């Protein structure tokens, strides 16, 4: 079982319009709603790959009820979300059908009380011992301590369970110091963490701060991974236009899937890039175009330079 943690779950709403014009009125051609937040997107992709997944975090209010009703229809994902008094947030992605660009609007999330956070910590510690791997994903809702991910990383490591961290800002900085097995920042998050905009140097710097393996998401250029064995660059065969929302979450799912399947690093990265790229072609986050994934898997380019970390 793979355990995904989404402390700030969301109901993801995707609108498609012909052309997005500031200050204008738009007719929406297509609407999609999905249980969201980074960890839930990861969970859906992992389940689609055939893995057993348990999704935990918080859900509350009418939005939370709707999210859980939809999550219950997702085959292979066990709902272990904890109820809270506040209402789960919504995120709105507006996709411009002409350019393929996406505009994202994210609500902050409910305020989590100290009692709700304590209940989560107890439930997490009980579940983590039976997990093959843990993914800690996304932003922190108001009320959750800024060092929350560092605490969850230490709990997983104490249980001997590999843990991947995918967050940003101060939660990422503190989480990296707790020595997670993997972190997956994007280029902006990596630059904020290290102060460097040069991907390889910044990735090595992030390793020195505590992470065992750093996988930097470079958008359409793929992934850069650095650990004690060396560094690898994995890139799709060509750039595809579409909705990039959730592409990074699919990369996380590919990394975790490769980990539990015992794949070597080049194969893990190829799986992650193929899934990420196939997600750009899907209509909503937490989904991927399976035909595109299978076709891309053998065409991802992975280059390695050993002993570079």
DSSP label at 307?
Answer: T
Angle, alpha carbons 159-156-259 (nearest 5°): 100
Query: Contact, 218 vs 224, CB < 8 A?
Result: yes
Of residues 12, 166, 249, 289, which has the active-site annotation?
249
Q: Helix H segments across the chain?
A: 38-48, 61-71, 114-128, 148-158, 169-177, 187-194, 199-208, 247-260, 265-280, 290-297
d(CA 42, CA 70): 15
Q: C-alpha 202: how far from its chain's center?
A: 20
Return the closest-CA partner of residue 276 out of 216, 200, 194, 227: 216
Instruction: Answer yes or no: 79 catalytic.
Output: no
d(CA 152, CA 169): 17
Residues serving a catalytic function are 249
């Amino acid at each position: 079982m793979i355990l995904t943690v989404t402390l700030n779950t969301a109901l993801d709403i995707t609108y498609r319009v012909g052309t997005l014009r500031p200050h204008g009125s738009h007719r929406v051609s297509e609407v999609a709603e999905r249980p969201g937040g980074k960890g839930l997107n990861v969970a859906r992709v992992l389940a689609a790959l055939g893995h057993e997944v348990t999704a935990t975090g918080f859900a509350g209010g009418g939005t939370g009820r709707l999210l859980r009703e939809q999550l219950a229809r997702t085959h292979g994902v066990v709902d272990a979300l904890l109820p809270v008094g506040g209402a789960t947030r919504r995120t709105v992605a507006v996709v411009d059908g002409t350019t393929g660009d996406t505009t994202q609007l994210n609500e902050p999330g409910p305020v989590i009380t100290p009692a709700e956070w304590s209940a989560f910590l107890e439930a997490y510690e009980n579940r983590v011992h039976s997990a093959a791997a843990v993914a800690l994903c996304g932003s922190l809702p108001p009320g959750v301590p800024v060092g929350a991910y560092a605490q969850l990383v230490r709990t997983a490591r104490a249980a001997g369970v590999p843990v991947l961290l995918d967050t940003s800002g101060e939660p990422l900085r503190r989480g990296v110091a707790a020595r997670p097995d993997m972190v997956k920042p994007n280029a902006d998050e990596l630059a904020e963490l290290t102060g460097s905009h040069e991907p390889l140097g910044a990735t090595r710097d992030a390793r020195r701060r505590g992470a065992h393996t750093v996988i930097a998401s470079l958008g359409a250029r793929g992934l850069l991974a650095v650990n004690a064995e060396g560094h690898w660059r994995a890139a799709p065969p060509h750039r595809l236009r579409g909705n990039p929302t959730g592409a990074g979450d699919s990369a996380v799912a590919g990394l975790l899937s490769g980990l539990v399947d015992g794949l070597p690093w080049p194969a893990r990265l190829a799986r992650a890039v193929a899934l990420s790229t196939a997600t750009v072609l899907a209509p909503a986050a937490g989904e991927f175009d399976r035909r595109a994934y299978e076709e891309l898997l053998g065409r991802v380019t992975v280059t390695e330079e050993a002993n570079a970390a």
